Structure 1
Amino acid sequence: MDTVWTEISCEVPESMVDLLADFLVELSGNGVSIENLSLDTFSLDTIDDSPVKTVKAYFAPDVALEGHLETIGAFLLAHGPEFAGFAFKSPTVKAINAEDWANNWKKYFKPVRIGSRLVIKPTWEEYAAGSDDLVLTLDPGMAFGTGAHPTTKMCLEVLESIFLGEGAFHDAATAAPATVLDVGTGSGVLSIAAAKLGAERVMAIDIDADAVIVAEENAALNDCLNVVHLSTTPLQAVKGRFALVLANILAEELVRLAGELAAKVAPAGYLVLSGILCEKERFVLDGFAPCSLKLMEVRREGEWCCIALRKEPC
């Protein structure tokens, strides 16, 4: 018998979808869907232009459902008035089979090229790779991240530029990063990309044990388990420093962890921050100002931005 999950639906203006989806992913630890199409967590390309969207989050059996409903309602009341056309409606609840939710969205996840060499291909799709393509085979499962959303896409683009010494990193007098720390690895896509690009050791951490399991399966699919080491180790417990640190998490968490993240960057190493709404860009830059890091690049796509910083050589 299929496990029955709980689907919580919220109706919000289109302009609020990204903010609410970001919040619901963090709260549930799972993907979300928009309207009646099950999609990648934040892939909005196939959604029509209706001014009101229904954002749905999925919660495992036996969670504290009443508490989650109160938390979601409070979030809507606190942030909804910032968006034109918002009218508060209480979230609705529906039981759903896990198998239905887990499989329906797959038809919207197709191979996608990111940067000049990286191609992300779902396990159930065929792809004819070119001679220079680095193909990442991925099954996101219940973890965040297929690479389609701008936060992950820009992170991958910056990652590739750093390894290939391109763009803003062309004149950086340093070798390609040998060691990488991926904070909040999700599906493992950033860690796998780093391994494919030539990293010798990648430490990937996530507070969600289910995400670590998915990421480990994806690393195995890509023959990267000898390079990518996954765990639920807290950031403060990670030992050593890394030539590249990646953190694709919420802006508020980035700032809260600013000192710890900067401390994990080796001299002449890079820190790439994503998951940042453009309106929070200055907030994040100010939060990292005391860390004595040089701003290398800010990429923006839609409502999102990605910030690349560098620690000065000793």
Structure 2
Amino acid sequence: MDWREVAVTVSSDGEEAVADLFYQLGCTGVSIEDPEVLLNYIESGEWDYHSFGEVKLTGTSVVKGYFAEDDELGEKLGKLDLGVQELLKRSPDWVIQTKGLTLKEVDWETAWKAYFKPVRIGKHILVKPTWEQAELLPGDIVIELDPGMAFGTGTHPTTTLCLKTMEGIIKPGQTVFDLGTGSGILAVAAAKLGAKVEAVDLDSVAIKVAQENVDLNGVHDRVRVARGDLGTVLTGQADVVIANIIADVILILLPDLKRILHPNGEFLASGIIDNRADEVEEAIEGAGLEIIERILDSGWILFRARWANRESV
């Protein structure tokens, strides 16, 4: 199948709003190219194996979405155009430019492989693409990954924030719910840390890729992958609920937490751009939780929270 890559260049403040447009249209993959995030990682030394040349801060980001070239493509592109025009009405100072091109499925796979290299995260986690070799150290928790057409390679700050935090809090025998699993990277990590995991996503492509990565890592006995609305296909309660999504979806799922999060459990909310952080923090506290940690990386926020009044939950 051929795919249409639609790239929207937008002022950095609008990258999450544009990404949300793609998600609302059922886009099977969304990526954000933010020069500021890239520069921060290069300067930190974490991406020293890449050769990007000079990175210039432009004040804009490029948000890319990928659509199957099927009978619904024209309708989806029309809705995307209307959504972009509505954003311009609300924020006339934003710069927004849109362009599109057709990709063969093999082009997509090649694009991932060109930029995805082994990366160490936290103390012991090593995320390694299936086609790369890496030197292992004692105690390494190796996550083999083929992201395919699902978000989540481990290199974006929203994912690294989750992995670093998970490494410190997830204990063997716990139950973890991974909401919006994408490539399944967080579900696999939780399983390799000893947890039993329920991983859910709305997107059929993500479910396929996540299951493949679960099988690839040999954790199929500890991870169940299911398709459905975030939080509604789950039964029981988790010791840790992880939502590495976007601010708007996190706000929607908060009412479900009383049903799916154990009274002594913890909630990890990531994927939150810093200009939405106060709004999300207020909503989390309004849902009856208290913020334990607020962690920032390259303009992205992770909230670690637990029930404020655990006896009454």
Structure 1 length as normaliser, TM-score? 0.83
1:30-69: per-residue Cα shift (whole Å, max 9, x none)?
A: 144759xxxx9xx997483263565432211215223322
Rate the CA distance shift 1:24–1:50 in 2: closer, same or farther, 3 A.
farther
Displacement of 1:208 in angstroms is 0.9
Distance 1:297 1:179 in 2: 21
Query: 1:134 deviation in Å?
Result: 0.5
- CA distance 1:177–1:153, shift in 2 (3 Å): farther
1:129 corresponding residue in structure 2 = 136
Cα distance in structure 1, aligned partners of 2:189 and 2:199? 12
**Equivalent in the alignment of 1:245:** 241
* Counterpart in the other structure of 1:214: 209
Task: State the partner residue of 1:170.
Answer: none
Contact 2:247 2:273 (8 Å CA) reproduced: yes
Residue 280 of structure 1, CA deviation? 1.1
C-alpha contact (below 8 Å) 1:250/1:276 kept by paired residues: yes
* Distance apart, 1:268 and its partner CA: 1.0
| CA separation of 1:55 and 1:258: change in aligned 2, threshold 3 A | closer
Give the structure 2 partner of residue 29 of structure 1. 28
Counterpart of 1:117 in structure 2 is 124
Whole-angstrom distance in 1 between the partners of 2:92 and 2:299: 16
Aligned length: 293
Quick check: 1:259 aligned with 2:250? no
Classify the secondary structure of the residue corresponding to 2:199. strand
Matched residues in 1 for 2:172 and 2:265: separation? 10
Amino acid at match of 2:117: K
**Counterpart for residue 106 of structure 1:** 113
SS at match of 1:116: coil
Partner-residue secondary structure (3-state), 2:64: strand
Match of 2:8 in 1: 10
- Cα distance in 1, alignment partners of residues 186 and 281 from structure 2: 22
Residue type of the partner of 2:3?
W
SS at match of 2:232: helix
1:95 pairs, out of 92, 95, 102, with 102
List structure 1 runs of 4+ shifted beyond 6 angstroms. Answer: 81-85
Q: Secondary structure at the match of 1:310?
A: strand
Give 1:108 deviation, angstroms: 0.7
Matched residue of 2:132: which SS? coil
| Structure 2 Cα separation of the partners of residues 102 and 220 of structure 1 | 19
C-alpha contact (below 8 Å) 1:102/1:141 kept by paired residues: yes
User: What are the Cα deviations for residues 223-260 of structure 1, in whole angstroms up to 9, with x where unaligned?
Assistant: 10000111114322311001111111111111111110
Aligned partners of 1:262 and 1:271 also within 8 Å: no
- After superposition, residues 53-64 of structure 1 pair within 5 angstroms as 54-64=62-72
Q: Conserved in 2, the CA contact under 8 Å of 1:206 and 1:233?
A: yes
Moved more, 118-127 or 12-21: 12-21
* Structure 2 counterpart of 1:74: 82
CA contact (8 A) 1:24 1:32 kept: no
Is contact 1:13-1:84 (8 Å) kept? Answer: no
1:172 equivalent in structure 2: none
Distance verdict in 2 for CA 1:139–1:258, change over 3 Å: same
Report the counterpart of residue 271 of structure 1 in structure 2.
267
Matched-pair contact (CA < 8 Å) for 1:162–1:176: no
Q: In the alignment, is the contact (CA less than 8 A) between 1:242 and 1:266 conserved in 2?
A: yes
Cα distance between partner residues in 2 of 1:62 and 1:307: 39
Corresponding residue number in structure 1 for 2:161: 154
SS in 2 for 1:270: strand
**8 A contact 1:294–1:309 mirrored in 2:** yes
SS in structure 2 at match of 1:236: coil
The equivalent position to 1:140 in structure 2, one of 136, 141, 147, is: 147
- The C-alpha deviation readout for 1:100-122, integer Å capped at 9, x for no partner, is 12213312101111111111000
Tell me how far apart the structure 1 counterparts of residues 163 and 266 of structure 2 sit (CA, whole Å): 14
Bigger mean CA deviation after superposition, 282-291 or 253-262: 282-291
* Structure 2 unaligned residues grouped into runs of 5+: none
